[in-house]
């Protein structure tokens, strides 16, 4: 009888320990999930479009505290539906030359903005809401801003390639956003383009209709149509438009090989995951060896 009691007591003790371990793992899982939503995320760099700042095989830490973590229905987004996105309180703001991780804003068609939940990009912010951005001789400029934007060495290299007519040999596509004969911009000569800020207004001209159609339709969930000199938002005539959201303009540091805002246009603020701040691990994709000289390197 005594042995039986001791046996069941040992079983109970083992179950208690197992339940305690399972409970601890559940708590750790919940804490990890909360941190992923509110504080940080990790992404692996797959290509060379951000060289030399980031190279393929770098694993980067993304700070969500700057803008605040995003909250949205992930199942609806995964199904391709347009979702409402809100943010937790942020403790900073995105500045020019910050490196951003974001969802690519075109999930299916080039004429329709949307949250592409499966595709993440990392690029450098070269213009913020309210800026007027342009490219002259392949170099980035913002009206009223005297600092440098993006990787100037790479912009110099692109200009050199274009000057000797070698762009085809490099596979460089010259035609830029918005790919319309009314606005014949290239990655060498681009803009000026107003980067919309929340509350900013534009007049509805044929050129602005081309430049901002995708953003307006995404914000309003309505079709923007032009009839002669008249613009219709569904069946309402509009002469000007006031933006409801903030937008950014982003570019890869390796400008010869980067699919960025020069080609696809404005990045809605709500599609931004956060600011890339640290390389926490780096692996050489050819040898699988750790690049120890890049581990815990700050992203500048």
The pLDDT confidence band at residue 59, using thresholds 50, 70 and 90, is very high
Q: Which residue has the higher pLDDT, 252 or 21?
A: 252
Q: For the residues of 101-148, what is the DSSP string, one character each? A: EEE-S-SS-TTS----TT-EEEEEEEE-TT-EEEEETTEEEETT--S-
Predicted confidence at residue 107, as pLDDT, reads 82
Predicted confidence at residue 149, as pLDDT, reads 97
Mean pLDDT of 70-84: 76
Pair 191, 185: CB distance under 8 Å: yes
Tokens 């708590």, located at residue = 27
Tokens 């009206």, located at residue = 143
Choosing from 20, 64, 123, 275, which is the catalytic residue?
Answer: 123
Please provide residue 75's backbone torsions phi and psi, each rounded to the nearest 5 degrees. Answer: -70, -40
Query: For 245-291, what is each residue's pLDDT tens digit?
Result: 999 999 999 999 899 999 999 999 999 999 999 999 999 988 999 99
Specify the pTM: 0.87
Pair 118, 88: CB distance under 8 Å: no
Predicted confidence at residue 74, as pLDDT, reads 75
Other CB atoms within 10 A of residue 195 CB: 22
Of the listed ranges 29-38, 80-89, 139-148, 248-257, the least confidently predicted one is 29-38
Predicted confidence at residue 83, as pLDDT, reads 81
Q: What whole-number distance in Å separates Cα of residue 57 and Cα of residue 55?
A: 6
The pLDDT confidence band at residue 39, using thresholds 50, 70 and 90, is low
Tokens 């040898």, located at residue = 287
The pLDDT confidence band at residue 198, using thresholds 50, 70 and 90, is very high
Predicted confidence at residue 14, as pLDDT, reads 62
pLDDT value at 81 more than 90: no
Q: What whole-number distance in Å separates Cα of residue 25 and Cα of residue 18?
A: 11
Query: Going by C-beta distance under 8 Å and a sequence separation of 6 or more, which residues neighbour residue 227?
Result: none
For the chain, the average pLDDT equals 88
pLDDT value at 207 more than 60: yes
Predicted confidence at residue 278, as pLDDT, reads 95
Of the listed ranges 33-37, 160-164, 236-240, the least confidently predicted one is 33-37
The pLDDT confidence band at residue 112, using thresholds 50, 70 and 90, is confident
Choosing from 39, 44, 47, 49, which is the catalytic residue?
Answer: 49
Annotated catalytic residue 17: no
Predicted confidence at residue 228, as pLDDT, reads 85
What are 92's strand-pairing partners?
A: none
Q: What whole-number distance in Å separates Cα of residue 267 and Cα of residue 261?
A: 7
Alpha-carbon distances, residue 71 vs 82, 93, 167 (angstroms): 14, 18, 42
Annotated catalytic residue 123: yes
Percent of the chain at pLDDT > 90 equals 68
Task: Domains for the chain: give ranges and CATH numbers.
Answer: 1-197+244-299 (2.10.109.10)
């Amino acid at each position: 009888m005594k042995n039986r009691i001791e046996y069941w007591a040992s079983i109970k003790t083992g179950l208690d320990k197992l339940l305690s371990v399972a409970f601890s793992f559940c708590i750790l899982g919940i804490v990890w999930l909360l941190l992923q939503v509110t504080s940080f995320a990790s992404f692996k760099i797959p290509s060379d479009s951000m060289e030399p700042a980031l190279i393929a095989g770098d694993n980067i830490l993304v700070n969500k505290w700057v803008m605040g973590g995003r909250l949205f229905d992930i199942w609806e987004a995964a199904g391709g539906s347009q979702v409402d996105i809100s943010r937790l309180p942020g403790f900073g703001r995105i500045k020019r030359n910050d490196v951003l991780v974001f969802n690519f804003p075109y999930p299916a068609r080039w004429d329709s903005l949307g949250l592409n939940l499966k595709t993440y990009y990392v690029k450098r912010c070269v213009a913020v809401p309210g800026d007027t951005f342009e490219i002259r001789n392949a170099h980035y400029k913002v009206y009223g801003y005297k600092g440098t934007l993006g990787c100037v060495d790479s912009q110099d290299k692109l200009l050199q390639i274009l000057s000797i007519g070698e762009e085809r040999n490099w596979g460089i596509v010259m035609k830029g956003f918005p790919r319309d004969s009314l606005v014949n911009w290239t990655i060498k000569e681009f803009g000026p383009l107003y980067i919309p800020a929340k509350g900013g207004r534009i007049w509805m001209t044929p050129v602005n209709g081309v430049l901002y159609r995708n953003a307006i339709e995404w914000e309003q969930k309505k079709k923007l149509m032009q009839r002669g000199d008249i613009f219709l938002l569904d069946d309402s005539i509009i002469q000007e438009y006031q933006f409801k959201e903030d937008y950014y303009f982003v570019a890869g540091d390796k400008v010869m090989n980067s699919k960025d805002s020069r080609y696809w246009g404005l990045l809605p603020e709500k599609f931004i995951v956060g600011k890339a701040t640290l390389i926490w691990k780096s692996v050489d994709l050819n040898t699988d060896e750790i690049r120890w000289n890049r581990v815990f390197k700050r992203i500048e």
